[in-house]
Amino acid sequence: MVSHLAIGKIEELKNIYTNVNQQTIFSNNPFIIKRRHGENVIAINHLNTLWNLLNGRKTFGESKNLRKLIKNMLPKSSF
């Protein structure tokens, strides 16, 4: 983020940070988001959480999609 601020790429930063959602972050999402009475309600996806624990993973969810997003949106050539 600091590098983009330093070279004045404010719009690119805004685009990156405002277009992130659960699908772009998690390859195995530990959350369920439902809309009830006009508000978002967030709960834990117990099936995915159990699956991760049974497979010996150290976290409730996996954020491989976030790594891909960062790699695609912030290539080494930007630095």
Residue 78 pLDDT > 70: no
Q: Which domain holds residue 60?
A: 22-78
**Average pLDDT for residues 46-74, to the nearest whole number?**
86
Number of domains within the chain:
1
**Domain assignment present for 5:** no
Residue 75 pLDDT > 80: no
Which tens digit of pLDDT belongs to each residue from 5-56?
A: 888 888 888 888 888 888 888 888 889 999 999 999 999 999 888 888 898 8
**Domain assignment present for 52:** yes
pLDDT score at 37: 93
Contact, 1 vs 32, CB < 8 A?
no
pLDDT score at 79: 64
**Domain assignment present for 29:** yes
- Residue 64's CB is within 10 A of a number of other CB atoms, namely 12
CA distance 42 to 23: 15
Question: What's the whole-model pTM score?
Answer: 0.62
